[in-house]
Amino acid sequence: MQTRSGPLRPRAYWWVASLALVWNLAGLAMFWAHVNMDESRLATLAEADRQIYLATPPWMNVAFAFAVIGGVLGALCLLLRRRWAVPMFAVSLLAMLVQFGGAYLVTPAWQAYGAAGLAMPGLVLVIGLALLACSRRWRARGWLR
């Protein structure tokens, strides 16, 4: 079935797009808190978390920014039914891989958390992959223009 503006999308499309925006805005808030951490907040962190924060190179913060901003833009593109959702989610996913890979390669994250510390980054990557896959499928169906 079609409308004047294109093919009809199921309600699930709008739920996924809306939840994607909420999820990515939460990530943006975490990024903001991370880059604006002051000495008093840094002092409240556990010693391992403080060491990881202090060992984080600036390029990882750039990757974090690309990951969350790409995710927010991708979700907005879904809500606006724009094809740009696909490259935005792809940039976001690539930046996540750089950020999480860097965290375990250049900071003491592995020593602090071990394999259990991969749970949250793993979840974030799975959600990022799912959003990229959904946006690609929806673009192929003509739901994004």
Residue 31 — pLDDT band, cuts 50, 70, 90? very high
pLDDT of residue 9: 72
In the chain, which ranges are E strands? 2-3, 6-7
Q: What is the pLDDT of residue 30?
A: 97
Instruction: Give the pLDDT confidence of 3-25 residue by residue, as tens digits.
Output: 555 555 788 899 999 999 999 99
pLDDT tens by residue, 37-47: 999 999 999 99
| 20: nearest Cα among 98, 135, 142 | 135
Nearest to 60 by CA among 114, 111, 121: 121
List of residues 6+ apart from 142 with CB closer than 8 A = 6, 7
pLDDT tens for 54-96 read 999 999 999 999 999 999 999 999 999 999 999 999 999 999 9
State which amino acid sits at residue 112. A
